[in-house]
A and B are shown apart, each in its own frame.
Chain A
Amino acid sequence: MPDKKITINATRFDPEKDQQPHVQTYEIPFYDESMVVLDALNYVKSHVDGTLSYRWSCRMGICGSCGMMVNGVPKLTCNAFVRDYWPNPIVVEPLNNFPIVRDLVIDMDDFMHKLQSVKPWIIRKQEIPLGAGEHRQTNEQIDEFRQFSQCINCMLCYAACPVYGLNNEFLGPAATALARRYNLDSRDEGLKIRQPIIGDAEGIWECSFVGECSVVCPKGVDPAKAIQQSKWDTTLRFVMPYGNRD
């Protein structure tokens, strides 16, 4: 019984040598049913071609490092099982809509900048001292924002969003979901401060509700919902009398 093999077609790009990316094909053993695409890449790097570069760390879907396009779909490669693609070849490319730094590694600067721009920290008019203990908050109050707090910053949503692909100024799904996470946190009082960034033309209003961000999100954050909810809230605040009260 011949050993099973799997073919990986990986994007290669070294700015020192290449004018543009090209594809390199590797055929490696499909050595275990629970093998994931990340395992395949690691096998290539350890035993076949040490020059292949990509990001990874936790291998359990929580650090957000290993996002790549797998057969045209943004996925965490630690959670993409080879058995779901075998015997067909697996095409592994860097995440869409980001510039390529090297091979499967993309430039995350814009994403990091956008995360920071929504002021993702608790903003209060008056801080309570440590000695006063914790803010009282119920699990139901946490449920209000829990879903939006699950984002692992993997950027699959940005790779899936055609609006971001066409317009890099767009604030994007993860940043908006993070802003909403703080806006909905009962301890936070910073909604009005975040509003100019969210409500900007390049903020939520650039979104035309394609919805693919929520489809690809590996943690069920549903950033599309966060954006549409923000649109509704923002409109209500604008339209209702005294709507913009704290």
Chain B
Amino acid sequence: MATEINASGGTPAPPHEVGRSGGDETVTTRVYHRPMASGWWTRRRNYFMYVVREFTSLPLALWLLWFLYQVQQAQHRAVNYHPTTSIAFVVFSAIVLFFALYHSITFLSLAGSILRFRVIDRPVPARLIVLAQFALWAIASAVIAAVLIGFAR
């Protein structure tokens, strides 16, 4: 899909005068600056997915706030308060879980090429690093889940 040449006019730099010898004629050389269209991220799939990826931090932040609110509510309610009584919260949590997984999986998968470790004198293969990252993630998730569920009881 073609990028737009902004029909409403880009911002040509002010004409840059370059005089020639004799001075009877002046040669103007100016360059044309094309502004980035505000919808630049809708034009290519990769840009769109990137913005989605970055955007996931916003619902996640909102979810955390909502979660903290739920935790605070739990303080004032009966012992068997369950957040699941709010259907909206469950649905929102599911959506945010999907976003968080998307962001985390892309992030951890790339760790293999970015992190470089050497054991003795040979580099650790990328796949091993990625597996280790996912393993750590799983362990950390299990620990946190256990703690939270423990508190909820």
Contact = CB atoms under 8 A, between A and B. Distances in A.
Interface stretch (A35-43, A50-58, A225-233): A225-233
A162 B43 CA distance: 12
A61 interface: no
B33 interface: yes
Nearest to A13: B32
Contacts of A210: 46-47, 50
Interface stretch (B23-31, B67-75, B135-143): B23-31
A91 interface: yes
Majority secondary structure of chain A interface residues (helix, strand, loop or mixed): mixed
Given A19-B12, A211-B46, A211-B50, 7 more contacts: A13-B32, A20-B9, A69-B2, A72-B2, A99-B32, A100-B32, A212-B44
B1 A72 contact: yes
A107 B113 CA distance: 33
Contacts of A20: 5, 9-10, 12, 32
B92 interface: no
A211 B29 CA distance: 35
B54 A99 contact: no
Contacts of A96: 3, 34
A15 B110 contact: no
Contacts of A9: 2
A112 interface: no
Contacts of A166: 36
B134 to A, nearest CB: 18
Interface centre among A99, A101, A222, A232 (most CB of B within 10 A): A99
A166 B47 CA distance: 13
A165 interface: yes
B119 to A, nearest CB: 15
A107 B31 contact: yes
B41 interface: yes
Given A21-B5, A93-B2, A232-B115, A100 B31 contact: yes
Nearest to B15: A15
B101 to A, nearest CB: 18
A215 interface: yes
A71 interface: yes
Interface in B34-51: 34, 36, 40-41, 43-44, 46-47, 50
